[in-house]
Amino acid sequence: MTSPHPSPANSAGTDAPSRRGPLLRWYVSSATLGFPQAAGPIAFSLVALGLTGDARGGAAMMLAMTLAQVAGAIPIARLGTTFPLAMFLRLLIVVRTVALAAVALLAAYEAPFAWLIALAAVAGLVNGAASGYLRAILNHLASASRMPRALGIAATLNETTFVLAPVVASGLGTVSPAFGVLALAVVGALPALLVPGAGSSHLDAVRGPGGSVLSPSLLLWLLCAAAGGATVAAIEIGAVALALNFGYEPALAILFTVPLCLASVAGGIWVSVRNRMASRRIVLAQLAVMSAGSALVALNLSIATTVAGALLVGSVLAPLATYYSLVLDTLAPPQRRAEVFALLRTANACGVIFASAVLTAVSLSLTLIVITGLMIAVTLVVGVASLRRRPPAGRSG
């Protein structure tokens, strides 16, 4: 029994070798596309501090950006179905760049802060769709046999971006908050210049059976992505509170965030070297590892066990993200892949929103317990689904 949908990178030819030049440009595009979101919390907080005297305004700008991303992912992705993939992606990035440049300009002229929040929302509106279209372009650059490695490299580079971007934003923002946001806009615009074309390919030209982007199998993996996003967000957002709980200075929050990021980079390298799509059994084990890591952090026993928990969570981030991308590629209706990839990015954002909302409402310890419970629940759901599932002959997954 074979999958009813084409394999990943089918349009590129399953046995066709990857084109190195365009693929390298895609890697750089992938790494820089997320720079505004990675640097945003610091850059926006510095802007808010300068304009209002309260850095919490930066959180309001990030919330507006993230909520807009969730709202705009599917509608914006559907608008581009008649355009070539690369052309529509460039249009989306131009919209975001103009919005972020306007934030910098208004910040320099000390405009009302509400305008900055509105422009941050405009910038975020296209983030989900842009991510979806960038991922769809990869199908035209890498063969199916090389897709796990390509996604593993991309995950490693993206994690590196999320480590370095806040440092860059902090350094430039101390010179001038408006300049920090402008730099964020410029780096985020690089994919518009670098993204390789995919010929004249556009989604309406892709032939294949139709279908819903919200089928039970798709929803299962989107739920896993959301739970994973919430787990990581709870640790990263709560890192300062964790440091204070153990009697350390707030600046030593890096004791938790840096190990998590380094483990994630190592996980991405492992995926790249292995270059294989994981079996369902391995994915279930990886979800269990993330649940265990979240539980260790939630127990709050000691600094060592909490760091160990962060390491466990980080170690499976890239492998799980790679699997979600690969499995959704096979499950998505061919002409709606960009929508599904946009949903994957949005599911992660929903996890971040959920973790932030729970942290706002209750204590950090209770938040970590809730997030751990969510992770355990989705792991059990995947386990039950795996028991009921009959693997197709000759395939693992």
Using left for φ > 0, alpha for ψ between -120 and 50, and beta otherwise, residue 211 falls in: left
Please give the span between the terminal C-alpha atoms of the chain, in angstroms, as a whole number.
Answer: 13
DSSP string covering 140-187: TTS-GGGHHHHHHHHHHHHHHHHHHHHHHHHHHHHH-HHHHHHHHHHH
Residue scoring higher pLDDT (240 or 95) = 95
The CA–CA distances, whole Å, from 295 to 234, 305, 314, 371 equal 12, 10, 14, 9
Angle formed by the axes of helices 254-274 and 216-237, to 10°? Answer: 140
* CA geometry: angle 32, 34, 35, nearest 5 deg: 65
22-44: pLDDT as tens digits: 899 999 999 999 999 888 888 88
* The listed CATH number (3.40.50.10880, 1.20.150.20, 3.40.309.10, 1.20.1250.20) that belongs to domain 23-205: 1.20.1250.20
335-371: pLDDT as tens digits: 778 888 889 988 988 998 888 888 878 888 899 999 9
DSSP string covering 17-30: PP-HHHHHHHHHHH
Answer yes or no: are the C-beta atoms of 265 and 159 closer than 8 Å: yes
Widest CA span in the chain: 64
DSSP letter at 131? H
> Of 279, 263, 290, which Cα lies nearest the Cα of 155?
263
Give residue 211's pLDDT band: very low, low, confident or very high (50, 70, 90): low
> Of 59, 271, 52, which Cα lies nearest the Cα of 148?
271
For the record, the structure tokens of 97 come out as 């760049």
Say how far apart CA 166 and CA 55 lie, in whole Å. Answer: 15
**Is residue 218 over pLDDT 60?**
yes
What is the helix (H) or strand (E) element at residue 5, kind and residue range? none
221-236: pLDDT as tens digits: 999 999 999 999 888 8
Whole-number pLDDT of residue 355: 87
Say how far apart CA 131 and CA 121 lie, in whole Å. Answer: 16
Are the folds of 23-205 and 207-397 the same? Answer: yes
Give me the helices (H) in the chain, please: 20-33, 35-52, 56-79, 85-108, 113-125, 127-138, 147-175, 177-194, 216-237, 239-245, 254-274, 280-299, 303-315, 317-331, 337-361, 364-388
239-281: pLDDT as tens digits: 878 888 888 887 677 788 888 988 998 998 998 888 888 888 9
For the record, the structure tokens of 358 come out as 């729970």
DSSP string covering 327-368: HHHHHS-GGGHHHHHHHHHHHHHHHHHHHHHHHHHS-HHHHH
The domain spans of the chain are 23-205, 207-397
Whole-number pLDDT of residue 167: 80
**Burial (0-12, 13-18, 19+ Cβ within 10 Å), 98:** middle
* The listed CATH number (1.20.1250.20, 2.40.30.10, 3.20.20.210, 2.60.40.10) that belongs to domain 207-397: 1.20.1250.20
Whole-number pLDDT of residue 212: 60
Residue scoring higher pLDDT (375 or 147) = 375
CA 359 to chain centre: 20
Give residue 304's pLDDT band: very low, low, confident or very high (50, 70, 90): very high
**Is residue 394 over pLDDT 60?**
no
